[in-house]
Amino acid sequence: MASASRYFEKQIRLRGLEIAFWLATLLPFVVTPAYLQLASQVAITALFALSLDLILGYAGIVSLGHAAYFGVGAYTAGLLAKHGWGEPLSGLLISAILAGLTGYASSHIIVRFRHLALIMLTLGLGLLLHEAANSASWLTGGADGLQGIKMRAVFETFRFDLYGRTAYAYSLVVLFACFLVSRRIIHSPFGLALRGIRENAVRMPAIGAPSRAHLRKAYTIAAVLAGAAGALLAQTTETVSLDVLSFGRSADVLVILILGGAGRLYGGLLGAIVYMVARDQFAGMNPQYWYFWIGLLLVAVVMFLPNGILGGLARFFPRKS
Amino acid sequence: MSASLAGVLFDGFAYGMLLFLLSVGLSVTLGMMNFVNLAHCSFAMVGGYVTVTLTNSLGWPFLASLPIAFLAAALVSTVLERALYRRLYRATDLDQCLLTIGIVFISVAAAAWFFGTVQQPINTPPWLRGTVQLLGMSFGAYRLFLIVTALAITAVLIFCLEYTRFGAQVRAAVDNQRMARGLGIDVDRAFAVTFALGGGLAGLGGALAVEIVGLDHAFAFNFLVYVLIVVAVGGLGSIGGSFVAAALLGVSDMAGKYYIPWLGSFLIYLVMVALLMWRPAGLFGKR
């Protein structure tokens, strides 16, 4: 027992490289102050990818409709602010909880299925929500998007400015907090059980880990994080468009996670940085042609780099035991 | 009212037959190799663009362009199967999904590059343009042509699958791939042929679809969901199941858009989710 708890303690401790990574996230404030809006977008996308990593990388649930929870979070935060509740932190909390409730409700369906039926169901639920938001234009503004969002300042002191200084700081702090929570979850007995379920969902109950209950929990947590990411996007940009629920967003986050490396916590963060910065650099390009390169990249990653960028790096730098 | 009801049923059935042509190949190949091929509609898009190019730029007659659309799509699917898919048969669903989504992205971008993002016009021969009077009601000639074509193809497919040696091999491979291999059936070859055939049929479906639903660069995306619904609801590897599922989907989609337009596609997705929850292996699926 003592060795088991020592194992977990060792896993939980932050490594030097990790501390360096998080310190480096502060660099945009001094090095590229003109790109803070972009940095904020990267942080939000990273949080979204992190939430997908929890269910895809660790629990093994393939989802083509993860934007559903992102969208619920974004619309909740947007609607709250539009109707007078402009306080960001409580808005963020309410949005995340509501997305979590949606996730908990749908998790009862999701955990029953595997393979094609699972992919189809996640896709179907995502499309269902997209269509619902499109139809309910009295609430969501439909295809025109939600307008007239007015945010109050964070802690009543830090206003959301034009340069995105507050936006980035706010997004980064939320990302860091969510990351610490996810990291703690992954390196707990529960996280270990999730990985066991990913490898063999039938055998895990035999050693005392209820597969479906664990998967439901993981799915709900991921939905909470996705909702928080959506709420961040709504609050920092002060608009919500139908695009937050689109299939494209679900596919994008999947690409980002796979590009970085699934099941590695930092995979989503790294993928988000590479993807968003590249897209910003190629912004002059027609989006249709942008997708050509994304497609090519996907094919290449699946064929040659099965564990993403981080997996490829790990092959060159094997960890000392 | 009854006339319009019959009209909606007829149009819906024609639409369903179109969906059947687009999805039957995917159903059989998925049942055989369990390969999640999301790029199936890209093959259909190849067929559509081949027909549009042949009829508009080169002045071919519409009917003559259809076999070429079939062949071109079959060729493209064979090349892709040989070059990429083959290596991933034993990979996870996720890898297969990602590879094929990548191919969809590439095909959509390539179509936008070569043909632009506008809807492609098509010239059908005059005898397919008007309406046909039958039992006091008028039906669109093109839709009638579509239904007759699809029914003929279904008959041929079922005949080949039930009464030929190759059909028996395919059925054996769908039922139990390992057992079929054990009996000395060359499953890989059977699969390659089926895959090419399925791609070709999708190409034919894509060529026939231009008149009804139009063709633009996003075709591969827009019809992906419909095709997956047909396959998932009809059950893997079942031609009959795909036929019934496609007809049901076509009619209910058309009826939904006609009678309750404000719901949009909501109804279809709802029906799909409900059906999958009720029977995860599809209406006619065995597994």
CB A267 within 8 A of CB A257: yes
Instruction: Give the integer Cα–Cα distance in Å for A274 and A125.
Output: 29
Q: How far apart are CA B135 and CA A161, in angstroms?
A: 70
- Over 70: is that where the pLDDT of B2 sits? no
Residue B3 has pLDDT above 60, yes or no: no
* Residues B72, B165: Cα–Cα separation, whole Å: 26
Q: Is the pLDDT of residue B116 over 70?
A: yes
Within a domain: A20: yes
DSSP letter string, B35-61: ---TTHHHHHHHHHHHHHHHHHTS---
Q: What is the dihedral of CA B160, B162, B167, B169, to 10 degrees?
A: -170
**Residue B71: per-residue pLDDT:** 94
Q: Which residues of A touch B (CB under 8 A)?
A: 56, 62, 64, 109, 112-113, 115-117, 119-121, 123-125, 127-128, 131-132, 134-135, 247, 251, 254-255, 258, 286, 288-292, 294-299, 301-303, 306
**d(C-alpha A39, C-alpha A32), whole Å:** 9
Is B273's CB within 8 Å of A291's CB? no
Q: Is residue A148 part of a domain?
A: yes
Residues of B in contact with A295 (CB under 8 A): 101-107, 109
Closest CA to B257 of B41, B17, B11: B11
Question: Cβ distance B78 to B198 under 8 Å?
Answer: no
A47 closest CA partner among A225, A295, A247: A225
Q: Of A16-30, A83-97, B148-162, B266-280, where does mean pLDDT reach its minimum?
A: B266-280
Residues 6+ apart with CB under 8 A from A104: A216, A219, A220, A223
Going by C-alpha positions, the residue among B2, B12, B27, B3 that lies closest to residue B258 is B12
Residue pair B193/B166 in contact by the 8 Å Cβ criterion: yes
The count of C-alpha atoms lying within 13 angstroms of the C-alpha of B100, restricted to the half-sphere facing its C-beta, is 27
What's the rounded Cα separation, in Å, for the pair B227 and B29? 13
β-sheet bridge partners, residue B134 = B137
CB contact (8 A) between residue A127 and residue B30 = no
Interface confidence, given as ipTM, is 0.80
| Residue A97: C-alpha distances to residues A102, A132, A224, B82 (Å) | 9, 20, 6, 48
Is A64 part of any domain? yes
Do residues B206 and B200 lie in contact, with contact meaning Cβ atoms separated by under 8 Å?
no
Q: What is the rounded CA–CA span in Å between residue B208 and residue B17?
A: 10
Distance between B24 CA and the closest CA of chain A, angstroms: 16
CA dihedral B28, B30, B35, B39 (to 10 degrees): 80
What's residue B49's pLDDT?
92
Return the residue in A111, A135, A299, A304 with the most chain B beta carbons within 10 A, the one to mutate for interface testing: A299
Cβ within 8 Å of residue B262, ≥6 positions away: A135
Is the per-residue pLDDT at B124 higher than 80?
no
pLDDT at position A2:
66
Residues of A in contact with B91 (CB under 8 A): 302
Nearest CA-CA distance, residue B260 and chain A, Å: 12
Q: Do A132 and B266 touch (CB under 8 A)?
A: yes
Residues on chain B touching A125 (C-beta within 8 angstroms): 273
**Residue matched to tokens 């992919």:** A119
Cα separation, B32 vs A77, whole angstroms: 46
Q: Are A265 and A50 in contact (CB under 8 A)?
A: yes
Residue A18 lies in a domain: yes
Residue from A302, A303, A305 to probe the interface with B (highest B Cβ count within 10 Å): A302
Domains in chain A, number: 1
Identity (one letter) of the amino acid at A237? T
Residue B172: the pLDDT is 87
Does any CB of chain A come closer than 8 Å to the CB of residue B260?
no
pLDDT of residue A319: 59
Of the partner residues A131, A289, A297, the one whose CB lies closest to the CB of residue B113: A289
3 state DSSP class of B120: coil
Q: What is the pLDDT of residue B48?
A: 92
Cβ-defined contact of A117 to B280 (cutoff 8 Å)? yes
What are the backbone dihedrals phi and psi of residue A37, each rounded to the nearest 5 degrees, phi first?
A: -60, -45
Q: Does the pLDDT of residue B103 top 50, yes or no?
A: yes
Residue type, A262: A
- Within A71-220, strands assigned E span none
Q: Which helix (H) or strand (E) holds B139?
A: strand B137-140
Distance CA A240, CA A146 (A): 5
On whether residue A137 sits in a domain, the answer given is yes
Nearest to A250 by CA among A46, A51, A65: A65
Whether residues A132 and B263 touch (CB distance < 8 A) is answered with: no
**Predicted local distance difference test score (pLDDT) of residue B276:** 80
* Residues with Cβ within 8 Å of residue A99, at least 6 apart in sequence: A69, A70, A72, A73, A76, A223, A224, A226, A227, A228, A230, A231
The shortest CB-CB distance from A113 to any of B221, B236, B280 is to B280
Of A13-22, B127-136, B223-232, B237-246, the least confident: B127-136
B56-67 confidence digits (pLDDT tens): 888 888 888 899
pTM score of the predicted model = 0.86
Beta strand extents in B135-248 (DSSP E only)? 137-140
pLDDT for B45: 92
Within-domain flag for A94: yes
**Which residues of chain A neighbour B264 with C-beta distances below 8 Å?**
131, 134-135
Mean pLDDT (whole number) for B136-141? 76
Q: How far is A126 from chain B (nearest CA, A)?
A: 9
C-alpha atoms less than 13 angstroms from C-alpha of B185 in its C-beta half-sphere: 22
> pLDDT tens for residues B68-91?
999 999 999 999 988 888 888 878
Which element (helix H / strand E) includes B138?
strand B137-140
Distance from C-alpha of A100 to C-alpha of A116, rounded to nearest angstrom: 25
Our CA dihedral for A130, A135, A139, A144, rounded to 10 degrees, sits at 80
CA dist A45 and A275 (Å) reads 10
The larger pLDDT score, comparing residue B278 to residue B138, is at B278
Domain that holds residue A269: 2-316
Answer whether residue A97 is part of any domain.
yes
Q: What residues 184-223 of chain B have any CB closer than 8 A to a CB of chain A?
A: 217, 221
Sign of the four-CA dihedral B243, B245, B248, B253? negative
Q: Is residue A321 part of a domain?
A: no
In whole angstroms, give the CA distance from residue A290 to residue B110.
11
Residues B241, B234 contacting (CB under 8 angstroms): yes
Q: Identify the three-state secondary structure at position B195.
A: helix
* Minimum distance, in Å, between the CA of residue B21 and any CA atom of chain A: 20
For chain A, residues with pLDDT lower than 70 are 1-2, 283-284, 318-321
